[in-house]
Structure 1
Amino acid sequence: MPNHSRIRADAFHRPLSPAERLYVAAAGPRTPLVIQFIVRGTGGFDVAALSEAVRVASQACPGARLVRRGRTWVDSGLTPPVRTLVGDDDAGLPFLDEPLDPESGPTCEVVVVHGSRSLVVFRAFHGVMDGRGVLAWAHDVFRALRGERLAGAPSADTELTVLRRTRPTVEPPVVRFDRPAPLPDLARCTEPGELRWARHTVAGNHAGVVARIATAIASTADGARVMVPVDLRRHTDARSTANLALPILLDVVAGADWSTVHTGLLTALAERRELAVPGGLRTIAHRAPNAVLRSLLRRAAGRGYPCSAVVSHLGHVELAAFSAPDFTATAAYSLPVHDPVTPMSVCVTETDDRTEIALAYRARPDSDGTTARALLHAMGDAVIGERQAVDGETVLSRFLAQVRRSPSAVAVVGRDATLTYEELDRRSDAVADLLRANGVAAKTVVGVLAERSAAAVVAIWGVLKAGASYLPLDTHHPARRINTTLVAAGARVCLAQRLQRQRITAPCEVMVLEEAWLPATARRPVTPAPHDPAYVVFTSGSTGAPKGVVVSHGALASYTGWAVRLYGVDRDTRFAVFTSLAVDLTVTALFLPLLVGGSVVMVPDEVNHVSLREVVEQCGANSLKLTPTHLDLIYRLDLRPDGFRLLVVGGEQLRTDLVRRVRWSFGENCRIFNAYGPTEATVECVVAEYDPEVHGGVVVPIGTPRGETSVLVLDREGDDPVEPGEFGELCLAGDQLADGYLGAGPAESARFVVLPSGRRAYRTGDLVRQLPGGEFEYAGRIDRQITVRGHRIEPSEVEVALERHPEIGRAVVSAVESATGEMVLRAHVIAAPGFDEADVRRHVAATLPWHMVPQSVVPVGELPHTTSGKTDLAALYPPVVDEVIRIWARVLGVEPDAVTPDTEFHRLGGTSLTLLKVLALIAVDVVGAEREADFMTHLRQIVRTPTPRAIGAAVERALALS
């Protein structure tokens, strides 16, 4: 260990201040009064090196070594211990409830938690340190780890020292213990209750955070009194870890504007009102024995609270300051101290590009904490205010900043060109100039019809620089689909590659991309506002027509901000783009690397075994965004990728057996994320990183919400949240939410709702439940929407296209498993005698993308109906599926009505052994002995998708061989 600092601590001691005496008197086994500063990150710690760093830092910050001797803190000379534990949930780790003994010590310690992510916790009894003191100590520990000079905190100053040096000029406040708890599920002062923590993260740093949170608390009742601790270090130059904070009391009326509250807080700070401590309280705290102080605190607690909540602000924390050679900090925050005379405490920590809000409260034993968590999210909503981009930035401003940082770095690799950041910037400038010269402005929609190429990337950035929103179009879609999409979007201009120009017949101006790369003028890019549209993506519509989802710059900036951090995207990232630009799956790969100095590899070929081999083994990419179907194909091709660091998987349910096999192929150094998110919530917003030690079920959960996304799981009526563990409809809220649909009718607009809290949300139509560990598990659709190869499809849109054929009267579309194990579309139709199936499929292909063309069109005499009058899809399945359902129900001891063609075996209590019993009975009763071996060759696919539909498909394939 190098010589970090010349600061030495010799026989450090100091008297307890009045505030510290109150903390000593109030502390107990159920009231630990421990400040806990938490740093999360990737990598790990050498425990011996960390212990040495703690030793050196604690010499420079001797307040970390104190123990109490009567009314004096004395330097024990002992280094705070370093403990190592295993766990994941920082708010559920048992050691967080443990007190630190001020009499025998230690009063400070460091705990390292190894789990899916590393966690280091700096713990200090509040009697020896305040929040800023713990922060100073933690800073020096990391400085020591990095071999840097320490700052040290050798001063013995406390709040009493500052008060003796200053003369307040304002009257002290009147403190009365007359405030009720702001929420009904909080324990009263005199009642036993469980100490709980909750945490919420919002993007960006925001003005008036404390005032905004105070208004949210005031909204729970008829106003609130909020206690705001103020750091007294602003009155002294001394560096001390001791308690140097005194409060300001803010009275906030319900419905108050945060700016008014913020002005009041600034005024109080200007008047130095935190120094106006009531004289009687100060005298009692300074002179009364501990037993008397404890008695006074219990008596006061019986009358109520002095405030509705304590809201403290730890200040701005640079994550780089808490990184070490083998550890990279990704989050930092402090859990609030909860004392017995306040109903709840809030601590705010601002880091590089996010704001952490942590809540501590003591709940009644019968409380599930729902209202406390709702208040925490309301605080987050109040902090965000109107939807805005992270730090007021957009992807355009971040891209331009990156151009200045790395102009000569490679940005885009395409078959048509390889462009540096400077070249991409210059060419997109030229496109933007051309667009603006032709009247393109803010809120204009510009179509982009180009294959996956460098030209497409130039076009997208050119549109954004012109202040317009881009509409990505797929060159493989039928011309009719392309033109109807342009018309529906109201596109005035379409940028198209030369080979695509003749396909556009819509009433819009067509500009050839190859002719737009002319020298740019000196015009500056338009600066879009957060609420301006960034892009429009069309998805399958439930009304029979596609619908355009409008995503704002604010939503896109919010998504890219947290996705870059979560996935660890940096200048070494090379993302391959090999799926359709017309779906938002590609937004991840197109934007994230270009905001941090990485590169994009454009692969123009359609997905097949040849192109996938190029993507995985030849194009030089090390990161992919893809569907489970792609993953399965990669595995079946027996590819051996080298050097991959990231797979982001989405669009379909991800099975654990598949990701386990793929992880073996890609190597343990490749991080795999299961990412969920509808287009209406900007790409993805609920994410789980696959962990083989945690994710051992049949499917990988979709994870937990990220960034600003809030999740509600509502009952069938959509009125109330379901209990944890119960299935319900997933409802999303947050600043990643799209603006809505272009020209949407009532049915589509109804997806966007206003919650009782007044917050706007999106009802996804997806069925989920929350698992005990907090992650969410996807269980299918509550409506008819289906997914094929990562594409969300509304069957009604395909049905409308089928029914436009002159020989088709009625059509019903569903998804079935093909012989290769993939999900494909099957249509049942009432058709004219002798209809031509190939002609019907060609008719659909002329208006719909390839993935929406049914693989088979089956004629039926009539469409069966349920008792409620809806089409009975189950009755359309092959008879063999009905037979499988009957056998299944018999083995599991359930009614056949409880089993649908898509019911998963394990959801009804099935095990591996009972599944084998079902398969054996099917082999005897349905397949027959002569085809049993053929049937069992499909065992791998059946185990992967154990549903009656999948088993029925395997039976049909076996019988087809006879």
Structure 2
Amino acid sequence: MTPTATATAPQGRAYTRRISQIERGYLNANATGTPQLIQMVIEGAGHLDPAELADAVRRSTAVNPGLAVRRKGPNWRAEAELPPITELPADAGFDHPFFHRDLDVVAGPVCELGLSTGAVTRLVVRASHIVTDGRGLRYWIEDLFRALRGEDPVGADSTVDDAHFRTAAAPVPAAPVPPRVPGWPAILGQGPADGTALWLRRSVPATPSAPTARVGAAISRLLAADAGRLIIPVDLRRHDREVRSTANLTSQLVLDLHREDRWNRLHSQLLAAMLRKREVAALDRDFLRNNPFANSLREAQELDGSQFPCTAILTDHGRIDTELYRTAGFRPTEYYTLPMLVPYAEMFLSTCQLDGRTEVTLSCRNRPDARPAAEAVLDEVERALLAAE
């Protein structure tokens, strides 16, 4: 694993923004010892030159400074050091330490890249979910490839936080607080976990509508109880599409899940919640008093893995335009994410659609019998997506 030296960012207007309520929630989760990371992977044919990549990192970060911040008291402040690049062995699998190490938002960096070259060229971009979300990181990656093509980066340097979107979404009806539940029985293995994430991928030759609801319904077939609970992350930027920011601007919708649930019921429930702006209403709750999962760090740490108050987190990155990641010497063929572990959720599934297929990645705790149980979940997901076509 060879670190590649990086240049310093050009000097200019200092980028500073306050740590938001959403980001403080991720700081709390990180305090349990569970890394809060987004990892996006782009694979393809051809070559990415490390020196050219380092220069593209400099150019992209100059106009997306939120990916080079450090925590300074109640604020994020951009520093001169850029996201570093690590050259990985061509045969590095997802058990390689690079994919499991945490990123320190105080010492930095909050973003890093891994590059491996062999029969397939793989670029991995890892970022702290405390400071960014999927949309924010994609802004930076898209500018990275614009720079590699010799184009001008677009940039996303807004310093607004979630309070801006509360105002932009107004009026927002108050929403009931999801009731606390003791937890649902685990379905992905039993016994002690080793502290690392287990990732499984499935490529399904179908691109149906409503993939999130269909995945949720598939999971309901394997519930170990009569019910479960889903979290659906929602991008607050939908309430002001003029804002370009790399901040963590993702709020949560909580949906109840029933055994043998129907995808159209889940889809209707999700659409109704978004129509009522429930993800914005959730921002006005007292996090410590009205959190439906864990009201304290102690409660989160006491979860022993035998039951979880959240069955699954489901996130959909939508349709991916692979042309955004093409260069003169590199042709992308694969795009997927490696979802993080969440202290109170048993599994995290990420989907995206490209080139006539849906890519599904599942993360869960690595423990006895987890792999075959997770493969069974992906079998159900694959059947559900194929049946919809």
Pairwise same-fold verdict (TM > 0.5):
yes
Aligned length: 373
Code of the residue aligned with 1:215 in structure 2: it is A
Helix, strand or coil: the match of 1:324? coil
1:173 corresponding residue in structure 2? 177
Code of the residue aligned with 2:140 in structure 1: it is W
Q: CA deviation at 1:215?
A: 0.6
Code of the residue aligned with 2:263 in structure 1: it is W
**Structure 1 residue 308 corresponds to structure 2 residue 292:** no
1:34-53 aligned within 5 A: 34-53=37-56
Code of the residue aligned with 1:131 in structure 2: it is G
Q: CA deviation at 1:258?
A: 1.3
**Structure 1 residue 136 corresponds to structure 2 residue 139:** yes
> Residue 294 and residue 328 in structure 1: after superposition, are their counterparts in 2 closer, same or farther (change >3 A)?
same
**Structure 1 residue 234 corresponds to structure 2 residue 219:** no
1:267 corresponding residue in structure 2? 272
Code of the residue aligned with 1:275 in structure 2: it is V
**Could you report, residue by residue, the CA deviation over 1:820-870 in whole angstroms, capped at 9, with x for unpaired residues?**
xxxxxxxxxxxxxxxxxxxxxxxxxxxxxxxxxxxxxxxxxxxxxxxxxxx
Code of the residue aligned with 1:128 in structure 2: it is V
| Alignment counterpart, residue 246 of structure 1, candidates 247, 251, 254 | 251
1:619-768 aligned within 5 A: none
1:359 corresponding residue in structure 2? 362
Contact 1:226 1:251 in 2 (8 A): yes
1:107 corresponding residue in structure 2? 110
Helix, strand or coil: the match of 2:106? coil
Q: Give me the whole-angstrom Cα distance separating, in 2, the residues matched to 1:34 and 1:48.
A: 26
Contact 1:29 1:98 in 2 (8 A): no
**Structure 1 residue 27 corresponds to structure 2 residue 60:** no
**Could you report, residue by residue, the CA deviation over 1:514-543 in whole angstroms, capped at 9, with x for unpaired residues?**
xxxxxxxxxxxxxxxxxxxxxxxxxxxxxx
Q: CA deviation at 1:161?
A: 3.1
2:164 corresponding residue in structure 1? 161
**Structure 1 residue 62 corresponds to structure 2 residue 62:** no
Q: CA deviation at 1:31?
A: 1.9
Q: Give me the whole-angstrom Cα distance separating, in 1, the residues matched to 2:12 and 2:143.
A: 14
| Alignment counterpart, residue 215 of structure 2, candidates 213, 220, 223 | 213
Helix, strand or coil: the match of 1:100? coil
1:16 corresponding residue in structure 2? 19
Q: CA deviation at 1:332?
A: 0.6
Helix, strand or coil: the match of 1:343? strand
Stretches of structure 1 lacking an aligned partner (at least 5 in a row): 1-6, 286-291, 389-962
Q: Give me the whole-angstrom Cα distance separating, in 2, the residues matched to 1:314 and 1:187.
A: 32
Q: CA deviation at 1:175?
A: 4.4
Which structure has greater helix proportion? Answer: 1
Contact 2:31 2:297 in 1 (8 A): no
Helix, strand or coil: the match of 2:112? strand
2:373 corresponding residue in structure 1? 371
2:382 corresponding residue in structure 1? 380
Helix, strand or coil: the match of 2:88? strand
What is the TM-score with the length of structure 2 in the denominator? 0.88
Q: CA deviation at 1:167?
A: 3.8
Helix, strand or coil: the match of 2:286? helix
Q: Give me the whole-angstrom Cα distance separating, in 2, the residues matched to 1:210 and 1:103.
A: 34
1:225 corresponding residue in structure 2? 229
Helix, strand or coil: the match of 1:276? helix
Contact 1:100 1:106 in 2 (8 A): yes
Q: Give me the whole-angstrom Cα distance separating, in 1, the residues matched to 2:221 and 2:77.
A: 45
Helix, strand or coil: the match of 2:248? coil
> Residue 172 and residue 90 in structure 1: after superposition, are their counterparts in 2 closer, same or farther (change >3 A)?
farther
Contact 2:32 2:297 in 1 (8 A): no
Contact 2:63 2:157 in 1 (8 A): yes
Stretches of structure 2 lacking an aligned partner (at least 5 in a row): 1-9
Q: Give me the whole-angstrom Cα distance separating, in 2, the residues matched to 1:211 and 1:29.
A: 30
1:330 corresponding residue in structure 2? 333
Q: Give me the whole-angstrom Cα distance separating, in 2, the residues matched to 1:220 and 1:348.
A: 19
Code of the residue aligned with 2:375 in structure 1: it is R
1:384-395 aligned within 5 A: 384-386=386-388, 388=389
Q: Give me the whole-angstrom Cα distance separating, in 2, the residues matched to 1:144 and 1:184.
A: 42
**Higher relative contact order, structure no. (Cα contacts within 8 Å, ≥ 6 residues apart):** 2
Q: Give me the whole-angstrom Cα distance separating, in 2, the residues matched to 1:295 and 1:9.
A: 42
Helix, strand or coil: the match of 1:277? helix
Helix, strand or coil: the match of 1:35? strand
Helix, strand or coil: the match of 1:86? coil
Q: CA deviation at 1:8?
A: 9.1
Helix, strand or coil: the match of 1:48? helix
Contact 1:130 1:243 in 2 (8 A): yes
**Could you report, residue by residue, the CA deviation over 1:890-919 in whole angstroms, capped at 9, with x for unpaired residues?**
xxxxxxxxxxxxxxxxxxxxxxxxxxxxxx
Identity of aligned residues (%): 31
Structure number with bigger Rg? 1
Contact 1:217 1:224 in 2 (8 A): no
Q: CA deviation at 1:309?
A: 0.5
| Alignment counterpart, residue 125 of structure 1, candidates 113, 122, 128 | 128
**Structure 1 residue 297 corresponds to structure 2 residue 296:** no
> Residue 14 and residue 385 in structure 1: after superposition, are their counterparts in 2 closer, same or farther (change >3 A)?
same
2:187 corresponding residue in structure 1? 183
Contact 2:56 2:148 in 1 (8 A): yes
Q: CA deviation at 1:336?
A: 0.9
Q: Give me the whole-angstrom Cα distance separating, in 2, the residues matched to 1:300 and 1:371.
A: 20
Q: Give me the whole-angstrom Cα distance separating, in 1, the residues matched to 2:344 and 2:97.
A: 23
Q: CA deviation at 1:28?
A: 5.9
2:4 corresponding residue in structure 1? none
Q: Give me the whole-angstrom Cα distance separating, in 1, the residues matched to 2:76 and 2:50.
A: 29
Contact 2:100 2:196 in 1 (8 A): no
Q: CA deviation at 1:90?
A: 4.6
1:454 corresponding residue in structure 2? none
Q: CA deviation at 1:164?
A: 4.6
> Residue 56 and residue 18 in structure 1: after superposition, are their counterparts in 2 closer, same or farther (change >3 A)?
same
2:203 corresponding residue in structure 1? 201
1:809 corresponding residue in structure 2? none
Q: Give me the whole-angstrom Cα distance separating, in 2, the residues matched to 1:231 and 1:383.
A: 24
**Could you report, residue by residue, the CA deviation over 1:419-442 in whole angstroms, capped at 9, with x for unpaired residues?**
xxxxxxxxxxxxxxxxxxxxxxxx
Contact 1:63 1:75 in 2 (8 A): yes
Q: Give me the whole-angstrom Cα distance separating, in 1, the residues matched to 2:265 and 2:343.
A: 30
Q: CA deviation at 1:246?
A: 0.9
What is the TM-score with the length of structure 1 in the denominator? 0.37
Q: Give me the whole-angstrom Cα distance separating, in 2, the residues matched to 1:215 and 1:8.
A: 50
Contact 2:190 2:305 in 1 (8 A): no
Contact 1:108 1:125 in 2 (8 A): yes
> Residue 240 and residue 266 in structure 1: after superposition, are their counterparts in 2 closer, same or farther (change >3 A)?
same
Q: Give me the whole-angstrom Cα distance separating, in 2, the residues matched to 1:299 and 1:314.
A: 32
1:258 corresponding residue in structure 2? 263
1:889-928 aligned within 5 A: none
**Could you report, residue by residue, the CA deviation over 1:119-149 in whole angstroms, capped at 9, with x for unpaired residues?**
0011101111111111111111001101122
Q: CA deviation at 1:284?
A: 6.9
Q: CA deviation at 1:369?
A: 1.2
Q: CA deviation at 1:305?
A: 3.2
> Residue 239 and residue 180 in structure 1: after superposition, are their counterparts in 2 closer, same or farther (change >3 A)?
same
